[in-house]
Amino acid sequence: MKKIAFVLVSLFLLGTVAANAQHFLVKGGFNYANSTVEGIKGGKTGWQAGIGFQTETARGFSFQPELLYNVMGVKFDDARNVNLGYLQLPLNVQWGPDLLIARPYVFAGPYVGVKVSNQFRGNWNDTDIKQIGDGLKKTEWGLGVGLGIEFFKIQIAGKYNWNFGAIADTRELPTLENSPRTFELSIGLKF
């Protein structure tokens, strides 16, 4: 029920912004997420896809909310693998000068996400990773900062995300790092 409420609220917010939007955006890209369990670091490349809107304001500032499906995970070795799918709502504020041919920009903003899928494979200290997955929380939230460039109707950006919320109940999973970091590289097409 919480997932449905999150999707409805997200669509309402995006619809409200869309009424004032100057550009609709279709976006996709890759991400690299890492985490640590019992001192063993692991990371994995994932992907993202979604839509957004961009509004223009004075002096180079713009607001760009997005609704993304983001698949992240961690691979510790060939036998242990975790994939998590999140529906994320980043609310980015951009600033950059218009240089006629291109617009370089910096951006930052909070994001929230709801876990909508998960896949686990392998064992950890004789415990099935699927059992470990039961201790993962259903929501995430954090802050993203990045750099990008816009030329013609194409937007290319790199973003670093800090997850502030605990991703697991630390009583059940005391060794799981609760603040994973993610780097994203994306390309968007504005309409």
> What structural domains does the chain harbor?
2-190 (2.40.160.20)
- Give pLDDT tens digits for 150-161: 998 999 999 999
Mapped onto helix, strand or coil, the DSSP state of residue 143 is strand
- Residue 172 banded pLDDT, cuts 50, 70, 90: low
Region at 56 (left for phi over 0; alpha for psi -120 to 50; beta for the rest):
beta
- Residue 18 banded pLDDT, cuts 50, 70, 90: very low
pLDDT, mean over the chain: 80
pLDDT at residue 133 in the model = 59
Average confidence (pLDDT) over 122-131: 58
Measure CA 79 to chain center: 26
- Residue 169 banded pLDDT, cuts 50, 70, 90: low
Average confidence (pLDDT) over 77-92: 84
What's the one-letter identity of residue 9? V
- Residue 63 banded pLDDT, cuts 50, 70, 90: very high
Average confidence (pLDDT) over 109-118: 91
Mapped onto helix, strand or coil, the DSSP state of residue 174 is coil
- Has residue 45 got a pLDDT over 70? yes
- Has residue 74 got a pLDDT over 50? yes
Percent of the chain with pLDDT over 70: 66
Long-range contacts of 151-154 (CB under 8 A, 24+ apart): 151/101, 151/102, 151/103, 153/189, 153/190, 153/191, 154/187, 154/188, 154/189, 154/190
> Looking at per-residue confidence, does 172 or 163 come out higher?
163
pLDDT at residue 177 in the model = 54
- Residue 118 banded pLDDT, cuts 50, 70, 90: confident
- Residue 188 banded pLDDT, cuts 50, 70, 90: very high
Query: Given the structure tokens 């004075």, which residue do they identify?
Result: 58
